[in-house]
Amino acid sequence: MPETLALPYDFEVREERDFRGDFERGTIAPAVADALRRLARARRTTTSNVVLAVFKLVLFQLTKQEDFCVGVSVANRSRAELENLIGFFVNILPVRTRCSESMEFDELLAQVTAAADEALEHQDYPFDLLVQKVNPARANNRQPLLNVVYGFQNYSDVHVEVGADATASASAAAELAPAREFERTFRTSKFDLTLFVDDHGAGQQLALALEYDTGLFRPETVRRQVQLLERFAGMVAKLAPPA
């Protein structure tokens, strides 16, 4: 495993951290988001992997670190019998990438796709056991192995019933409304940076929320990182085939 990502912090890393956090939000406009979706289909990958590759490109530009991992969160409900079971099954998968200044985005995307696919083949392996197996150097002021995490949520095929009578027959029509994400109001940050992306499907924007440790970054620094992500997404969108 490579060392944790050497991010350019605004403040020195304290020996004792309180892991307080905040969010900076952004959006990838609907036209750009649709172009990223077309690019994903053309490259036989997912929109999540395209956005992850853009995020990794941003991290590389910020750090110039050529070999690093980003943790990818997965629902870990791959078995049908777990779909309706209440509980927290989310796991973190380290996705490793090697970047260079001369690398084309298609090469980066192919590498991210291959690494993510390989990680998903082992999604049932608990992250805690992976930490025990690798046994990295530990510190009280940071998480082991990973300091940047990525989460992508697709709501395009998720709907909720509204106004449905619980006593109505199964054949009764129930009004369906698109599901939407709840407002994230947490003021903690388990990692240095965590990017949350919400996708509501074709014709909709991609909502970005970059969670950060307020003991490491100023708000204006993270705001610039979100703006860089938006700008890079617009550049990558130009690689997509026409609609």
Q: Where are the domains of the chain?
A: 21-163+174-237
Average pLDDT over residues 162-191: 59
pLDDT number for residue 53: 98
CATH architecture of 21-163+174-237: 2-Layer Sandwich (3.30)
Place of tokens 């590498």: 111
Structure tokens at 136: 């990295």
* Sign of the alpha-carbon torsion through 59, 60, 65, 71: positive
Q: Which runs of E-coded beta strand occur in the chain?
A: 21-28, 67-74, 91-98, 148-154, 159-162, 175-178, 193-199, 206-213
Structure tokens at 28: 């990838």
Read off the pLDDT of residues 102-126 as tens digits, 9 standing for 90 and up: 999 999 999 999 999 999 999 989 9
Read off the pLDDT of residues 33-69 as tens digits, 9 standing for 90 and up: 999 999 999 999 999 999 999 999 999 999 999 999 9
pTM: 0.87
Provide the percentage of residues in the chain whose pLDDT is more than 70: 87
